[in-house]
């Protein structure tokens, strides 16, 4: 299961015939370049196949084996009435080769029956669902209330898709603009050119890179892992479910690698302290060598983990999995809401690739309801309530273990401190007793005439206890156990609050599911935000 990259197309109908060949070359150049940038990411072209630029781009996509998904403004029979004879023939041919054809569900109200309204809804659909908009456009500004190429290009640039307003991310609106004059219009500067319009430098590159990285990692996961439901699925629901399984498994894989690296770095810190104490107190060069080895080992673990992005991939793949899970549940009830529209500004800005990934899986025929409200309640609310209760108990146990270990280290520290006080002030002779280590002098590279006394051993033990306490603080601190306990408790309270509402006939079940989805998405964003602060470090 690969997350696709969606290339939306908008363009003038009345392009100049003499420009066709050069336009084809420019479109081929841009599409092949995108394919080379993200070789593990399949391209899909979202194209309404209107006469002119749309059909030109569709022809190239088919020649490059890029699947066509065709959002129609109204029924195909109605749509055919708006084509010339030559363009109609091409429409029928391209439709026969398309991967999917469907009529767009309106996203604006009030509903209208005019052709312009239908064209506007199809254009809105393309703008909202594409990673990048390929615009064969003369560059002139358009009326945001219209239904032409200029309107949709300007909508993409402004990030304002709906009449009631929609704020897009600052790195969420990239256009590949091929300057294309209309018939009977002069060509600006007498040259057809390509401009990449993006709100910030390398926004598209970063978006495609993150998506391609996920697709590479998902190859190592097996389909069918951790199914959410055991019923036949198809279309949007099947794509969401399969993508969830891969993102869930990939997240678990990187979580294990992150925790392993964190344990290794923490223990390296402990043994660094012990090695230093042994070198300092025993003046044994073998521990100086060990100290240098541990520094090198820590650096290797840290650099390898940073290079493999184990922390950020664990978090982002988990955020993707949770978003897909919520979106999947909505699809089972036939709800067409794109839950990523309700991302906070922070989520939109930092998780653009996640929002685009989910949106790309929603293209096509809207999902049909396959579960009743009670069935979805059981699958979603009851199961999640059970999950959070179990997770709460597990994290409470880990927190108690951390507290017991901390108390134990405190007890040992105080006990050893009292023992040292007694020895130093009441039995000072004991502190200077020499421990016979003659056989170990050569093996441990002790300095000549070096002796080990009881006082030195006590210092090493006291320092070791401090180092272990530091390890516990570092490891369990990055696990954010108290925050996780609080989060699980909040989710339990939420599910328990919403359960009785399904018996209230005054409450719409669809609105309940959407409200729950929004809350989970906000909680997911909060979790991701604070967990990003727990990245791997070599502070120890």
Tokens of 258: 């992150």
Residues 74/78/81/83 CA torsion (nearest 10 deg):
30
Tokens of 113: 């029956």
Residue 168 pLDDT > 60, yes or no? no
Cα–Cα dist 300/298, whole Å: 5
Q: What is the pLDDT of residues 4-27, one digit of tens each?
A: 999 999 999 999 999 999 999 999
Q: What is the pLDDT of residues 448-474, one digit of tens each?
A: 666 677 887 888 888 888 888 877 777
Cα–Cα dist 518/369, whole Å: 20
Residue 28 pLDDT > 70, yes or no? yes
Query: What mean pLDDT is predicted for residues 356-362?
Result: 96
- pLDDT confidence of residue 163: 46
**Strongest mean pLDDT among 63-72, 179-188, 342-351, 524-533:** 63-72
Q: Which of 72-81, 142-151, 281-290, 459-468 has the lowest mean pLDDT?
A: 281-290
pLDDT band at 166 (very low <50, low <70, confident <90, very high): very low
Residue 184 pLDDT > 50, yes or no? yes
Residue extents of the structural domains in the chain: 5-216, 235-534
- Residue carrying structure tokens 């146990």: 397
Residue 539 pLDDT > 80, yes or no? no
Phi/psi zone of residue 165: left (φ > 0), alpha (ψ -120 to 50 degrees), beta? Answer: left
CA 152-72-150 angle, to 5 degrees, is 15
For residue 113, the Cα-to-chain-centroid distance in whole angstroms is 39
pLDDT band at 222 (very low <50, low <70, confident <90, very high): low
- pLDDT confidence of residue 170: 47
Give 404: exposed, middle or buried? Use CB within 10 Å, 0-12, 13-18, 19+.
exposed
Cα–Cα dist 435/191, whole Å: 89
> Average pLDDT of the chain?
88
- pLDDT confidence of residue 103: 96
- pLDDT confidence of residue 445: 54
- Residue carrying structure tokens 């891969």: 246
Q: What is the pLDDT of residues 76-121, one digit of tens each?
A: 999 999 999 999 999 999 999 999 999 999 888 888 889 999 999 9
- pLDDT confidence of residue 345: 80
Cα–Cα dist 137/121, whole Å: 19
Per CATH, which fold does 5-216 belong to?
A: Rossmann fold (3.40.50)
pLDDT band at 188 (very low <50, low <70, confident <90, very high): low
Residue 49 pLDDT > 90, yes or no? yes
Contact call for residues 420 and 462 (beta carbons, < 8 A): yes
Cα–Cα dist 34/82, whole Å: 32
What percent of the chain has pLDDT above 90? Answer: 57
- pLDDT confidence of residue 165: 46
Q: What is the pLDDT of residues 373-424, one digit of tens each?
A: 999 999 999 999 999 999 999 999 989 988 898 888 889 888 888 988 898 8
- pLDDT confidence of residue 443: 54
Query: What mean pLDDT is predicted for residues 478-496?
Result: 89
pLDDT band at 164 (very low <50, low <70, confident <90, very high): very low
Cα–Cα dist 242/331, whole Å: 13
Q: Which of 178-192, 264-278, 364-378 has the lowest mean pLDDT?
A: 178-192
Name the more confident of 122 and 507. 122
Q: Which of 6-20, 170-184, 510-524 has the lowest mean pLDDT?
A: 170-184
- pLDDT confidence of residue 208: 93
Name the more confident of 475 and 260. 260
Q: Pairing between strand 452-453 and 434-435?
A: antiparallel
Name the more confident of 410 and 160. 410
Query: What mean pLDDT is predicted for residues 480-487?
Result: 88
Partners of 176 in the β-ladder: 134, 196
- pLDDT confidence of residue 468: 83
pTM over 0.85: yes
Tokens of 369: 């309801």
Residue 441 pLDDT > 60, yes or no? no
pLDDT band at 440 (very low <50, low <70, confident <90, very high): low
Q: 19-27 long-range contacts, Cβ below 8 Å, gap at least 24?
A: 19/180, 19/181, 19/187, 19/192, 20/56, 22/192, 23/53, 23/56, 23/136, 23/178, 23/180, 23/192, 24/56, 24/59, 24/60, 26/178, 26/192, 26/194, 27/56, 27/57, 27/60, 27/134, 27/136, 27/178
- Residue carrying structure tokens 């615009």: 135
């Amino acid at each position: 299961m690969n997350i696709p990259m969606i290339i939306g197309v908008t363009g003038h109908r009345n392009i100049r015939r003499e420009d066709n060949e050069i336009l084809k070359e420019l479109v081929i150049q841009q599409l092949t370049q995108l394919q080379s940038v993200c070789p593990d990411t399949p391209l899909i072209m979202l194209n309404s196949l209107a006469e002119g630029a749309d059909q030109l781009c569709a022809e190239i996509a088919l020649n490059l084996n890029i699947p066509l998904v065709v959002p129609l403004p109204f029924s195909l029979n109605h749509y055919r009435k708006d084509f010339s004879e030559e363009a109609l023939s091409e429409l029928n041919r391209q439709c026969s080769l398309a991967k999917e054809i469907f009529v767009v569900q309106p996203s604006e109200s009030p509903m209208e029956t005019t052709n312009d309204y239908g064209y506007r809804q199809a254009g809105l659909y393309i703008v909202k669902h594409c990673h990048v908009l390929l615009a064969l456009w003369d560059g002139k500004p358009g009326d945001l209330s219209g239904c032409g190429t200029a309107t949709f290009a300007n909508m993409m640039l402004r990030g304002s898709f709906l009449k009631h307003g929609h704020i897009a991310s600052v790195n969420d609106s990239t256009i590949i603009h091929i300057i294309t004059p209309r018939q009977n219009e002069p060509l600006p500067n007498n040259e057809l050119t390509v401009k990449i319009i993006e709100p910030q430098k390398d926004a598209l590159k970063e978006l495609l890179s993150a998506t391609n990285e996920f697709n590479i990692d998902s190859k190592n996961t097996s389909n069918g892992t951790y199914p959410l439901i055991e019923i036949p699925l198809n279309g949007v629901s099947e794509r969401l479910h399969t993508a969830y399984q891969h993102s869930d498994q990939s997240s678990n894989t990187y979580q294990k690698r992150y925790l392993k690296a964190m344990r290794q770095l923490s223990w390296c810190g402990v043994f660094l302290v012990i090695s230093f104490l042994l070198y300092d107190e025993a003046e044994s060069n073998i521990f100086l060598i060990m100290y240098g080895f541990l520094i090198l080992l820590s650096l290797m673990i840290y650099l390898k983990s940073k290079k493999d992005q184990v922390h950020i991939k664990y978090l982002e793949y988990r955020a993707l999995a949770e978003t897909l899970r919520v979106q999947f549940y909505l699809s089972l009830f036939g709800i067409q809401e794109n839950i990523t529209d309700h991302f906070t500004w922070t989520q939109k800005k930092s998780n653009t690739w996640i929002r685009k990934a989910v949106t790309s899986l929603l293209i096509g025929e809207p999902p049909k309801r396959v579960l009743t409200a009670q069935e979805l309640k059981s699958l979603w609310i009851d199961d999640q309530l059970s999950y959070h209760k179990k997770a709460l108990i597990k994290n409470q146990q880990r927190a108690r273990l951390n507290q017991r270990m901390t108390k134990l280290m405190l007890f040992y520290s105080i006990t050893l401190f009292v023992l040292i006080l007694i020895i130093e002030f009441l039995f000072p002779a004991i502190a200077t007793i020499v421990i016979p280590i003659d056989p170990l002098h050569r093996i441990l590279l002790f300095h000549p005439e070096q002796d080990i006394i009881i006082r030195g051993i006590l210092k090493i033990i006291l320092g070791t206890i401090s180092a272990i306490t530091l390890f516990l603080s570092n490891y369990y601190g990055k696990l954010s156990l108290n925050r996780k306990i609080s989060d699980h408790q909040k989710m339990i309270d939420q599910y328990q609050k919403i359960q009785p509402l399904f018996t209230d006939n005054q409450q719409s079940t669809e609105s309940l599911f959407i409200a729950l989805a929004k809350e989970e998405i906000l909680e997911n964003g909060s979790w991701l935000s604070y967990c990003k602060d727990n990245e791997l470090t070599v502070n120890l």
